[in-house]
Amino acid sequence: MKPRILVTRPIPDAGLKLLRKDKRITVDVYENDKIIPRKELLKRAKGATAILSILTDKMDKELFDAAGPSLKMIANYAVGFDNVDLKEAARRGITVTNTPGTEIAETVAEHTIAMIFALAHRLVEADRFARAGKYVGWGPQMLLGTDVVGKTLGIVGSGLIGMDLVERMFDGFGVKIVYTDVKRNEKIEKDELAEFLTLDELLKRSDFVSIHVPLLPTTRHLIGAKQLRMMKKTSFLINTSRGPVVDEAALIAALQKKQIAGAGIDVYEFEPKIPLALRKLDNVVITPHTASATIETRQAMSRRAAENIVAFLDGKVPPNAVK
């Protein structure tokens, strides 16, 4: 019997074409372009050799039990892998891969930059204002924003996305950049692109704080009420990493009280739920977890997930194996 690859949701065709071209395997794609119901996922997992999962699919003990001993690999269609129980997978000898890459880093960095400028220039507020027919003539103090040039950008996490953001903002917009991470980034310090600070120091000094860390036990609620109080009243918080890195209730309270000037949020603590209180705020730009949503990047992720599966079936260590 051929190895069966379960794809839990239709993905861009680059990866599917690669898998379907491999005559050794059978490709089983959940046909509806929506989150696969848990019951259906458990049913379809039975007997699968590999599962190409997306970040909304919980790959846990229950799923591994349902799949049975045939399951040898989880190819996660995401950079993050907090939806996968890595310890349980390792215990069962199941290989786990993800889909990092320069394309994703560049796209998420672009989205972050778009949020920075949208917040600074109040673009979403201005758009709503104009659409509502409130514009009756130019005024010298109407919808005043703030410049980005000359400000300080604080980057929390200096991985691929953080590095890309450093280079673009330093070269393109003349901002002063500070960063923090569990491990210092020698490259950006050597090139004098960014200065290393502790998280507390970064929050106090930055005009824009952008978060680029994975969701781990150590990063859950990394930004909470205490940290938000450290930020300037004129500063903005941008989160394109994972929702639970920020204490959402604390953020909403800080925004309501004007403790900070605003926020750009692409990810949420209890996705797909976006709190009504957050949606009502004028000083917030919200997007529905679309920081990596470009045709080029999503095709690259699709291809990378498939390449990981093919490499595994060839008896090789997949290029993006999670350790």
Catalytic residues: 242, 271, 289
Among all chains, which residue has been given the structure tokens 């040039």?
A: 149
* Contact predicate 284/265, CB 8 Å: yes
Backbone angles phi, psi at 14, to 5 degrees: -55, -45
* Contact predicate 199/182, CB 8 Å: no
Please give the C-alpha separations between residue 168 and each of 147, 172, 176, 211, in angstroms, as whole numbers: 17, 6, 12, 16
DSSP 6-32: EESS---HHHHHHHHH-TT-EEEE--S
Number of H helices, E strands in the chain: 13, 12
Q: What is the CA radius of gyration of the chain?
A: 22
Residues in the chain: 323
Backbone angles phi, psi at 254, to 5 degrees: -65, -40
Helices (H), the chain: 13-21, 38-45, 61-67, 86-91, 102-120, 123-131, 160-173, 186-190, 199-205, 225-230, 248-256, 276-280, 295-313
